[in-house]
Structure 1
Amino acid sequence: MGIFSGRHFPREIILWAVRWYCRYGVSYRDLEEMMTERGVPVDHTTIYRWVQKYAPELDKHTRWYRQVPDWQARSWRVDETYIRV
């Protein structure tokens, strides 16, 4: 059983709302309005519950993709350019 089983809305809608909230910092009421404009009537308290439940799961699954490799964290690249005027 997946973490989205038994939900009223499809998992794409839930992920859409949670990602917008986490990435862009949109308020729950603004997010409710945006979703309604796109034809998804959902209440702001439902979005709040989704964020509380699924944001930690998203963080856990995407943490590997957000890691900075060691060679990028330790070194700096500098390029000098000379222009004659």
Structure 2
Amino acid sequence: MVSNPENLFKGQQFTAEVILWAVRWYLMFPASYRDLELMLTDRDVSVGHTTLFRWIQAYAPEPEKRVRPHLSRCDGSWRADETYL
């Protein structure tokens, strides 16, 4: 990644903080772009869902790449007690 994170967001209309909020929420929660648009509107940030789509496409791969090694792996075997099905 670039040594100065602000260089990544140079020329953007919104601050790096707002862009990173949206990217983090998209990666953390099963939210659509329109849901993210509403979440940001609740925080007085007016941004369109198409802009959020562009942010996710541009900025999500790097945080995901950094977090992926720290996630625990499952062994591929899942069992559930039939009383909970």
TM-score, length-scaled by structure 2: 0.69
Q: 2:54 aligns with which of 46, 49, 58?
A: 49
Cα 1:61/1:37, change in 2 over 3 Å: same
Q: Percent identity among equivalent residues?
A: 52
Q: 1:13 aligns with which of 14, 18, 35?
A: 18
Structure 2: gaps spanning 5 or more residues:
73-85
User: SS of the residue aligned with 2:34?
Assistant: helix
Asked if 1:38 corresponds to 2:47, the answer is no
Structure 1: gaps spanning 5 or more residues:
69-85
Larger Rg: 1
The total of aligned residue pairs comes to 68
Q: C-alpha displacement at 1:6, in angstroms?
A: 1.0
TM-score, length-scaled by structure 1: 0.69
* Aligned CA-pair RMSD: 1.8
